[in-house]
Structure 1
Amino acid sequence: MEKILLVTASKKSADMLLELLQAGGQRPDRILVTGSCNEARRVLIENNVDLIVINTPLTDEFGHEFAVHACHTTTAGVLMLVKSDLADSVAERVESDGVFVITKPISRPLFYQTLHLVNASRMRVYTLQKENRQLRQRIEDIRVIDRAKCILVAERHMSEPEAHAYIEKRAMNYRQTKRDVAEEIIRSF
């Protein structure tokens, strides 16, 4: 993971979690540490992080509101560390939003396994978002091309297949995309 945001109220827990993350292969210069949710929100505005670890409770709020906020506004994986007696009730509130909850005290194997699961989940979301962007771009390309076809049908009295063939042929002849040709047609009329 490139950048990690660690949100924890005490210096002692920050040191322990930093040691855990570094032992797991994370570079210390890639870990940002904050002591409150408000400070963490400011850090998120200025930085793109891959993982957010929230050690609850925090000084300004418990941490579940920030965890949900982070899931909805970033692509980072979010992991909450919660006392075992509260873990089930917190998990009920936040898991549907994509927050991973593990109990304290933390066992190393469980912590590392959860980090791998969070990263796998984050990568899957990233892949889906990338596919979504590509599909939206293709839909927009089709809209522009269809608009150009309509112009050719109306202004040059071509049939739809003729307009389609005209755009394709011109794109091949001038080594342009069909969208670029369609945009030229739209601009010229």
Structure 2
Amino acid sequence: MGLKERVYSMLIVSSASTFNSTMASMLPESTYSPIRIVSNISAAKRAIAERAYDFVLINSPLPDDAGTQFAIDTCTSKGTVVLLLVRTDIHGAVYEKVAKHGVFTLAKPTAKATLIQALGWMVSARERLRQFEKKTSSIEEKMAEIRIVNRAKWLLISELKMSEPDAHHYIEKQAMDCCVTKKAIAEDIIKTYS
């Protein structure tokens, strides 16, 4: 699937109605859906707890918090890309605090063209995260398969008094002969001897 076909969910955390309407007009529904807008950090925390978002855009400050810690927590605990907009006079200090956690920052006021460019950076970062997620899930699947095969080997060792190499060879040979995975053979062995 190409980038043009991707659709990204977005949470906008902002108490500024002008900013919210401007952002909503900049985000085509064909690319950004759903878009949820909340006006404070408390509501943003509830929204994040309810579902995962590809992007979180925080227009700081907010009535209940600056949003800096929320940005860090969201970026480090989820597969979410976060953009934090802060006043120009504090941008440097905020950047120093959040950049090491992967949070993008922009000084405001910000030009519309800069926001559009930042959204492009966020798409790139999300796609990179997506690749890591795929690799992680394939590694986790492989580790699960290894655990199942090892459990089956130990059952063959204890129940049929095979040696470890013989149990391993038996599972491999059965998988080849039956044209199935070692995991499928191991699951059958576990069902039989458990």
TM range (shorter): 0.7 to 0.9
Aligned twin of 2:174: 170
- When structure 1 is superposed on structure 2, of 95-104 and 7-16 the one drifting more is 7-16
Aligned twin of 2:4: none
Aligned twin of 1:2: 8
Residue identity in the other structure for 1:83: R
The size of the alignment, in residue pairs, is 187
Instruction: Identify which of 164, 181, 189 aligns with 2:185.
Output: 181
Instruction: Identify which of 58, 63, 66 aligns with 1:59.
Output: 63
Task: Tell me if 1:17 matches 2:29.
Answer: no
Q: What CA RMSD, in Å, does the superposition of the two structures yield over aligned residues?
A: 2.2
With over 3 angstroms needed to count, the CA separation of the structure-2 counterparts of 1:144 and 1:17, relative to structure 1, is same
Instruction: Identify which of 95, 100, 109 aligns with 2:99.
Output: 95
- When structure 1 is superposed on structure 2, of 173-182 and 123-132 the one drifting more is 173-182
Cα offset for 1:118?
1.6
**Equivalences for residues 1-189 of structure 1 within 5 A:** 1-22=7-28, 26=31, 30-189=34-193
Partner SS for 1:30:
strand
With over 3 angstroms needed to count, the CA separation of the structure-2 counterparts of 1:25 and 1:144, relative to structure 1, is closer
Cα offset for 1:165?
2.5
With over 3 angstroms needed to count, the CA separation of the structure-2 counterparts of 1:140 and 1:149, relative to structure 1, is same
Unaligned runs of 5+ in 2: 1-6
Unaligned runs of 5+ in 1: none
Compute the TM-score of the two structures, normalised by the length of structure 1: 0.87
Compute the TM-score of the two structures, normalised by the length of structure 2: 0.85
Identity across matched positions, percent: 32
Query: Which whole-Å CA distance do the structure 1 matches of 2:147 and 2:73 have between them?
Result: 34
Partner SS for 1:3:
strand
